[in-house]
Structure 1
């Protein structure tokens, strides 16, 4: 195992263990770094880098940056709620600054993850699976940093010296480093199905995503991006390898099952950030909060006195312009009814949350202190969902909404990720955060074929559509606009939209309460603190 001459103190803080596949992060108190780490179990060294992925993908960090700045989502100020110093309004209006809380905290989570990965790499034996996984995790953190901020602090993956200043990679150099690092460890990464360990298919998926966006990363402020034939062919080759392996298959029965609490090793998922149910409340870092931020308080439980057992939130919603692109009647990804959304009764055994876009008057379960009220025939009462606001109005989610919302009810809510019904105001969840899944590879390949001008892109688009809605759901032709729209239908609320909008040239468009057309807003500002502390790190243009 490699050693370093530098002795440093560390504290590895853990919220809960990454327990799948025997990775279990142990709490380690202050200790001499070299003494502690040289003899550490390789899986203990990997665990912090894996666990920190939940922070990056938390509902207020990379999710907020990718969703609430794009045309698919908004987090309005509702009365006196959710102003939060204007941070969400800044994201939506493209008026964010280096002081914005969530651009600042996301940078911190990304660079912390990189530090954990660097630390693991420096103490893991080269040529081992664990070392390769650490390089893979580092590469993913580097991609998120490049995509969101355009600059990547980097220390290399051999003979890492923490006493020296990092390099600052941008553009072509950053892209080439990510690709080279992944290629250098590819043969040591595991194969086969394991959605919570970074393996060869995760590496190939990441490489395809980098190549697909390479033209953007190399010329961030271009009026038109120049996608090279070589890069597009790389996308085609990499995605074809994963698709043709047969390790993963498209979901054909229930689209929303990919976002359920038991989604680990789902046939379509390639790689995800592992979540775990835990007795420790982890402050909103779990993906279930992406759902609760899209619902109304009391949607699961409605207390008789209107004050207790309130579950969910009244925050985020989607936008009318985005909804207008949908075939809301025929697309199964738009809405799934698990219980009738109407006044009446249902069988308790059939109770599950409705999924997708929740529009209009909503109904929930009448209960007594959290216990559903059963009727004599074994059914339970359904009542109109009561919002948690001062006038106790009922939820009626209209399409029209603005950043200063009329009330807590307006705005169509999004219930894509499942809520774990495990208690009042819990943040932990068993829903793993999907990062790569097979549909993404089909649609990346279709886009690359269209940009290359060669290959059957329509077959790839229809592979996804037929899996979702059967043969009648296939379309007759596929242009780039069709792929763009399909990505919106397929990946809404999944951390894709901002990146897709920039690549397809719609980022400077206008939508509800957003008119800014400044190309500088294609990347986020670097926080002031890291700029002051890190030589070579410079503020992005326009900030």
Structure 2
């Protein structure tokens, strides 16, 4: 194996896979740290890079940047709750600064991922599957940095010297480097189905996503983007390879099953960030607040025999909701129990999914605890916001950044609930990154931009899978693709990137009027900017 001297603190982070945030740095004999890493098995060397991906995709980091800055979601201030120093308001109004907490922390998590991936590469044997996965994970962290910040610190994948300053890649150079590295390890990446390890299909999905957005990455502040035929053909070729691989299939029965605790190796999922309720080397405990932050505090749900509540934060925006067909689109709402007064068996209670609109009904409670009848049934009653103002949870579409009460705003219950602790930080729901519907819609978009191919068939492949033959569309335009991406990928880390590519990012929506194209990328935090030669602050900051 390749060897480089390191300090014990980095070695501990690598071996523990970021399971603790309280590791105290202690510099001792560097040879000891090197020896421990050299003798570590390949999976232990690779695990920290996988595990750090869970931080990037955490509920406050890349999720918040992609969702709460876009037209699909808002985290309003409710009374004195959820102001949090104005961080969510700044995201929504596009008034963030270089010191914004979540733009700063997301950048830090990305660079930590770059470091752990590079460290794994430097110790793993070239030509092995684990080495190829480390290069693929490095490429993925590089893509997130490029997409969100426009600049990628990079140390290469051969003869890595951590004492040297990294290169700073942008635009075409960053894309070419990522693609070259992925292609160099493609033969060593596994084929077939494995949704929690990077495979050839995951690598092809990442490359397709980069080529689809290439014109944006090359000119972050341009207008009237002109997508090249060559790039669009590459998207078509890559997505076709994945679609025709036979390893994946569109979900046709229950759309929300892709976001359930048992979603590992779901037929439609290509790659997801692994979550486990118990500690494992790849994966581990992570947050499920993508849903709990969107639930009313009065809405109780069953969790491994226990009970928990929502946190009454995020909600959908009315303009985004208005694009849906709430009656006929099964992605809008799934009823697991009637939203009306009545009694059901305790075993049958499972929270409703999708957009939770209007007066909500849930389990009868007393002092915040569920009331279970002698026959093991529970009564369904109107939900009250029992931890706040005790009003009824009537979630209206109209909402503002300074919400008039705790109830307003349609809640989002897309990701399943599966928690152990009071902080709702343990879940087995893997965070979906690539799934087959994305490949169909990327190909449809590329065909439309190229002016060649059957985009309508690809759009309808997704729509028929979701709603049957009666749900098929009769036309195919770029606007159809944009809308369909909203229907299928809401609350899944896509919206900001999609809005920029479709030139809708500078539009206005609820309490957001900013039209500054500089906000297409986030600022470089002051610390890395001062400490990393070559990084420069993005325009407008």
Cα distance in 2 for partners of 1:442, 1:276 equals 29
Cα distance, 1:47–1:66 mapped onto 2, change above 3 Å: same
**1:342 aligned partner:** 340
TM-score (ref. length: structure 2): 0.94
Task: Within 5 Å, give how 1:58-77 maps onto structure 2.
Answer: 58-77=58-77
Would you say the 8 A contact 1:287–1:417 is kept in 2? Answer: no
Compute the displacement of 1:301 (Å): 5.3
Cα distance, 1:335–1:82 mapped onto 2, change above 3 Å: same
**1:504 aligned partner:** 502
**1:295 aligned partner:** 295
Compute the displacement of 1:8 (Å): 3.2
Would you say the 8 A contact 1:301–1:367 is kept in 2? Answer: no
Would you say the 8 A contact 2:211–2:235 is kept in 1? Answer: yes
Q: Which range moved further: 422-431 or 145-154?
A: 422-431
**2:109 aligned partner:** 109
Compute the displacement of 1:386 (Å): 2.1
The yes-or-no answer on 1:168 pairing with 2:163 is no
SS in 2 for 1:338: coil
Compute the displacement of 1:91 (Å): 0.5
Compute the displacement of 1:349 (Å): 2.2
Alignment: residue pair count: 527
Would you say the 8 A contact 1:362–1:395 is kept in 2? Answer: yes
**1:233 aligned partner:** 233
Would you say the 8 A contact 2:362–2:380 is kept in 1? Answer: yes
Match of 1:386 among 359, 384, 388: 384
**1:192 aligned partner:** 192
SS in 2 for 1:52: helix
| 1:180-206 deviation digits (Å, cap 9, x = unpaired) | 000000000011110000010100000
Match of 1:362 among 360, 364, 368: 360
**1:453 aligned partner:** 451
Cα distance, 1:286–1:529 mapped onto 2, change above 3 Å: same
**1:327 aligned partner:** 325
Task: Within 5 Å, give how 1:374-453 maps onto structure 2.
Answer: 374-375=372-373, 378-420=376-418, 422=420, 424-453=422-451
Would you say the 8 A contact 1:16–1:278 is kept in 2? Answer: no
SS in 2 for 1:232: helix
Cα distance in 2 for partners of 1:235, 1:483 equals 15
Would you say the 8 A contact 1:249–1:268 is kept in 2? Answer: yes
Compute the displacement of 1:365 (Å): 1.0
| 1:281-311 deviation digits (Å, cap 9, x = unpaired) | xxx9834110001101131159xxxxx9651
The yes-or-no answer on 1:153 pairing with 2:160 is no
Compute the displacement of 1:12 (Å): 3.1
**1:478 aligned partner:** 476
Would you say the 8 A contact 2:197–2:271 is kept in 1? Answer: yes
Cα distance in 1 for partners of 2:426, 2:170 equals 36
Cα distance in 1 for partners of 2:6, 2:349 equals 56
**1:81 aligned partner:** 81
Cα distance, 1:459–1:504 mapped onto 2, change above 3 Å: same
Would you say the 8 A contact 2:17–2:48 is kept in 1? Answer: no
Unaligned runs of 5+ in 2: none
| 1:361-398 deviation digits (Å, cap 9, x = unpaired) | 11111246777434455531112222144431121100
Cα distance, 1:131–1:164 mapped onto 2, change above 3 Å: same
* Deviation >4 Å, runs of 4+: 14-19, 27-31, 367-372
**1:8 aligned partner:** 7
Cα distance in 1 for partners of 2:229, 2:455 equals 15
SS in 1 for 2:46: helix
Compute the displacement of 1:17 (Å): 7.0
Task: Within 5 Å, give how 1:460-475 maps onto structure 2.
Answer: 460-475=458-473
Cα distance, 1:44–1:515 mapped onto 2, change above 3 Å: same
Cα distance in 2 for partners of 1:402, 1:245 equals 46
Cα distance in 2 for partners of 1:343, 1:428 equals 31
Cα distance in 1 for partners of 2:299, 2:500 equals 35
Q: Which range moved further: 448-457 or 384-393?
A: 384-393
TM-score (ref. length: structure 1): 0.93
**1:243 aligned partner:** 243
